[in-house]
Structure 1
Amino acid sequence: MLWSDLEVFLAAVRTGSYTAAGRQLDVNRTTVGRRVDALERALGTPLFEQTPLGYAPTPAGARLLAAAEAMEREVAAMLADIGGIGLRSAPIRIAGSGGIACEFLPELAAFRQAHPDVPIELLGELDPLDAVTQRRADLGIVLVRALPLRLTGVQVATLRQSPYGIADSLPSLPQLGWGYEFNAALPGGPWNSNPAGEVAQAAGLATFNSWPQLKQAVLSGIGKASLWCFAADAEPALLRLAPPDPRHDCPLWLVHRAKAPPGPGLSQLIAFLEKRIAARCNQES
């Protein structure tokens, strides 16, 4: 059994597909499949099985995964001790509910300073649950009351909303709303404090399809809207128009696929963001 075959197996489990593992390792899908097949022949047992949530390690595959992760940690420690060059890390792809991940760019910048060897990629996905499930993203920064079974993660904060506007134009500020794209990707959530979709269109409102867009529209004086307090309170030009409504509170989660244990880089990122995001969001008044 070769360590290089175990590296391929680790990538296949963590990414959730041979194609994604091939992109990470800079080889084609066929090569990944051939290396996993070689492991299965050497061990005399299947390592993956079909489940309702897609392919996942068999019990034998889970045991091999644990052993391979222990070996990976040992190899990384050895390379650090002797100054060797390890395997180049693939970018960690991040998606956030309605673009809310953009609010955490300072935390991501701090992570990159602490871990320059772990690249990250911020995606333009509106629905991170779907993006993580379909393997387009490795990490979701998710606003949801409860996680679906196919995903796992850690709750880092509970976010609150209030209506905001800029003080100079308060008497004449019109209501802003969510566009069809946002409403279709994230239906029925706690963010319905703003009119959405057909309701917003029927009222003739200006509409937007991400949290950064909506916040910038309020900052620009286009109108007023409910925003997440932790982000809006940091903007000196914005004024709270009413106290937060508890009906629109929502947990914020860091999530990944339940059947794809995070690798070292993703584990470091989750631990880092869990601490930094919780500290920042708990500062809101």
Structure 2
Amino acid sequence: MIDWDNLRFFLTAVRAGNYTAAAKRLRVDRTTVGRRLERLEHQAGVPLFEQGEEGYHPTAAGRRVLGVADQIEALIAGLGTDLSGESEAEQAELRIAIATELGSEFLPELAAFSRSHPNIRLRMNTSGEPEDDVITRKCEVGLCLVDPIPRHLRGTRIGTLRQAGYASHAYLEARGHGLPPQEYEWVRCASSSRVRAMKQWDDIFCRTIRVSAYVDSWPALKQSVEQGLGAGFLWTFVADSIANLDRVTPLHEELGTGLHLLVRDDVPMDQPTRTFLSDMAPRLSQRLTYA
């Protein structure tokens, strides 16, 4: 007979990525984790882990065991919530990697999530490659700008983010409305920037375009355009809602990129991760719809 406690150790080990990290989460020593997993494999009668190019992964049998263990855990968590109420549950931490191109634009939605789920504490970090942070287990969830979804990841597509050129009312009053883009000064991406989408926007420019400033972050780009330093390519879902900005170029369809919430495809989601994805996906989608 398979013991649930051994399954719990197995789930934690797969989510954590190694015995040492699992031991820390479970508040036991590493030897205990190894012993529990050996006992589980003995009870199952088949190997549950195999070694690949990127470390240890669950075998086909291990994935089946994980699927069942994940369902059991969800049922137990739901029962605990029903009996004691979420307000009394133990606080869990969820690590989120957010694409640097997004800055703090989705902070209102993240704050609303935290108010709705006070027992899930978010640890948020901006990252040039949040999808890699998920793959390497630096976080549980990535808010990523990717097309297509990278290998080893799964998740929810929120929508497509697009860009267009914008300038402030004050800048256009000084330079003139309705001019060709080449007649404006542009805020461009510094060569040192790690913001990939900003570099992509720069590809549409010819060498003779006039540059008013170079920046290396999304907040600096947006604020520079708002303050009248020059025109710049901004996310339409953000810039269209800023009263003192006007579009100065058509929408560039080819510059669209997918916004996804992603997790590892070989790791069952724990309850905080499952709650975050089911709650945040509609919040983010609504933000894009009504922007």
CA-CA distance at 1:108 after TM superposition: 1.0
Cα distance change on mapping 1:123 and 1:27 into 2, 3 Å:
farther
Letter of the structure 1 residue corresponding to residue 19 of structure 2: Y
Give the distance between the partners of 1:273 and 1:96, measured in 2 at CA. 13
2:189/2:198 contact within 8 Å kept: no
Give the distance between the partners of 1:16 and 1:44, measured in 2 at CA. 23
Aligned residue for 1:129, secondary structure, equals: helix
Structure 2 counterparts to residues 103-122 of structure 1, below 5 A: 103-122=105-124
Aligned residue for 2:290, secondary structure, equals: coil
Deviates more, 1:104-113 or 1:20-29: 20-29
Q: Give the counterpart of 2:185 among 153, 164, 174.
A: 174
Quote the residue 2:264 is aligned against.
Answer: 257
Cα distance change on mapping 1:92 and 1:271 into 2, 3 Å:
same
Quote the residue 1:194 is aligned against.
Answer: 202
Quote the residue 2:5 is aligned against.
Answer: 4
Quote the residue 1:239 is aligned against.
Answer: 246
Deviates more, 1:49-58 or 1:246-255: 49-58
Quote the residue 1:25 is aligned against.
Answer: 26
Q: Give the counterpart of 1:283 among 283, 287, 290.
A: 290
Q: Which has the higher strand share?
A: 2
Give the distance between the partners of 2:20 and 2:169, measured in 1 at CA. 52
Matched, 1:248 2:255: yes
- The 4+ residue runs of structure 1 with deviation greater than 4 A are 26-31, 84-88, 202-205
Aligned residue for 1:251, secondary structure, equals: strand
1:76/1:86 contact within 8 Å kept: no
Quote the residue 1:156 is aligned against.
Answer: 158
Deviates more, 1:53-62 or 1:116-125: 53-62
Aligned residue for 1:50, secondary structure, equals: strand
Number of aligned positions between the proteins: 277
**Which protein has the larger Cα radius of gyration, Structure 1 or Structure 2?**
2
Cα distance change on mapping 1:205 and 1:47 into 2, 3 Å:
farther
Letter of the structure 2 residue corresponding to residue 192 of structure 1: Q
1:190/1:250 contact within 8 Å kept: no
Give the distance between the partners of 2:103 and 2:141, measured in 1 at CA. 11
Cα distance change on mapping 1:225 and 1:13 into 2, 3 Å:
same
Aligned residue for 1:103, secondary structure, equals: coil
Q: Give the counterpart of 1:136 among 125, 132, 138.
A: 138
Q: CA RMSD in A?
A: 3.0
Letter of the structure 2 residue corresponding to residue 67 of structure 1: V
